[in-house]
Structure 1
């Protein structure tokens, strides 16, 4: 890793301190005394439910290419930035998701010290071999000048919290519902050795993080298998 100046933001995670020199409209970080600045909820869905969801999506022919957000909200397709497809979650799974999410909502609100208000529609994102999503912030566009990051422009002010639920597992050779590559990278977050934070999910895991530029992330290219995630963004009142 190239030499970077790091600032501790939780017990085990550091951020690239260069972000502090930028004018970030939506800066928000969790309690610095937590072990991690993101929340991982294990077994949100069981393996059985995940497998059923995968089967239903593979049968479904109603999908669209995922778009990239623009400042004017007229999103567009750019497969050099994002190569994945979007499906809808079946009604029965959507109802189950909403029921379980409400059970975990108090934990999420307490963890990030906010009150969730409205949420976007649930999206199912399919990544097959060769699919990826380059580094991005969920609420802002990166401003690049001469290949250097000079700031962020907020384009989705109603996104405060991001939730990603995985229906397939990374690097699980014992499961047909698995994939290689496709890890979730937090581009500006590092461990104490200076290694970028890389998350290889298991089916049923939900990762919850703030949508602002400190949590800029990417999905590495899927090398093989089938990566399926269920994504939602949430507005909130910060308390």
Structure 2
């Protein structure tokens, strides 16, 4: 029996031959699926350059481009307003390039051939599709988990029992910025370890006996089960840029919905 908790790696062209791999991510048998060379390297560089120009133009530090549901948990109507307002901004970053969000949707369609993959819609309002996160020198993300089922109960996406997270690496930091995954899934009693602002204290994983540190390459797509605790180590050289999308579904349902 293999006791190692290791990510699964495959090339994009191989995902159609490995449809059952995702089950290992759902159950926690494996911490992550890394789809190598998912997105064109030159396109990654072009997007990074456009983000650099946007950052310079705004003359302020930008931590993200796009809308994240977690920022609007108690402001539902404002979330949908902002989602609509920023759609054009996201599209401009991908103009004349293959839209990486559509490519993620196409990959999910291969992995879920029996389901329809679509952006989540609620009462005729479309959810945000993709948030770009920028981690500058010294930036990190503390130990945390993501759960629309627990955090976003007023949103329809919370009704789906299975939630996964996809992250495309548009630019990787030269040093630091590794993703650390811990083999412990969240439970409600863990809330006593929750930080006031975001994340959890390290005590939440004191009983965790397996962790893995990964550093995917630019253009790689990573899929994880975000109910397992994870963190991002401090960036120690240049900028880390990622595009994130959540997806959710039920085993017997006919849809896979995505949002950010």
TM-score (norm: length of structure 1): 0.60
Q: In the alignment, does 2:23 pair up with 1:30? A: yes
- Equivalents in 1 of 2:36, 2:96: separation in Å? 18
| Distance in 1 separating the partners of 2:251 and 2:167 | 21
1:40 is aligned, of 23, 34, 42, to: 34
Contact 1:116 1:237 in 2 (8 A): no
In structure 2, relative to structure 1, the CA distance for the partners of 1:71 and 1:101 (3 Å cut) is closer
| 1:229 Cα deviation after fit | 0.6
Question: Equivalent residue for 2:119?
Answer: 118
Q: Secondary structure at the match of 1:201?
A: coil
Decide which of 215, 222, 232 is 1:207's aligned counterpart: 222
1:195 offset after TM fit, Å? 4.8
SS in 2 for 1:50: helix
Partners in 2 of 1:222 and 1:93 — Cα distance? 30
Correspondence 1:166 to 2:181: no
What's the secondary structure of 2:216's corresponding residue? coil
* Aligned structure 1 segments of 4 or more residues deviating by more than 6 angstroms: 32-35
Q: 1:59/1:116 Cα in 2 relative to 1: closer, same or farther (>3 Å)?
A: same
Residue 243 of structure 2 corresponds to residue 230 of structure 1: yes
Does residue 54 (structure 1) correspond to residue 54 (structure 2)? The answer is no
Contact 1:117 1:235 in 2 (8 A): no
How many residue pairs align between the two structures? 180
Unaligned runs of 5+ in 1: 1-7, 15-28, 75-86, 141-151, 170-177
Show the 5 A alignment for 1:73-84. Answer: none
In proportion to residue count, which structure has more helix?
2
**For 1:164, what is the secondary structure of its paired residue?**
strand
Shift of 1:185: 0.9
1:216, distance to aligned residue in structure 2 (A): 1.9
SS in 2 for 1:167: strand
Point out the structure with the larger strand share: 1
CA distance in 1, matches of 2:115, 2:144: 23
Q: 1:138 aligns with which of 141, 146, 168?
A: 146
Q: Secondary structure at the match of 2:42?
A: helix
SS at match of 2:132: strand
Whole-angstrom distance in 1 between the partners of 2:237 and 2:90: 23
SS of alignment partner, residue 23 of structure 2: coil
Structure 2 gaps of 5+ residues are 7-21, 77-88, 121-127, 185-208, 253-260
Displacement, 1:132? 1.0
2:216 counterpart of 1:196: no
Shift of 1:36: 2.6
The Cα RMSD (Å) is: 3.8
**CA drift at 1:105:** 1.3
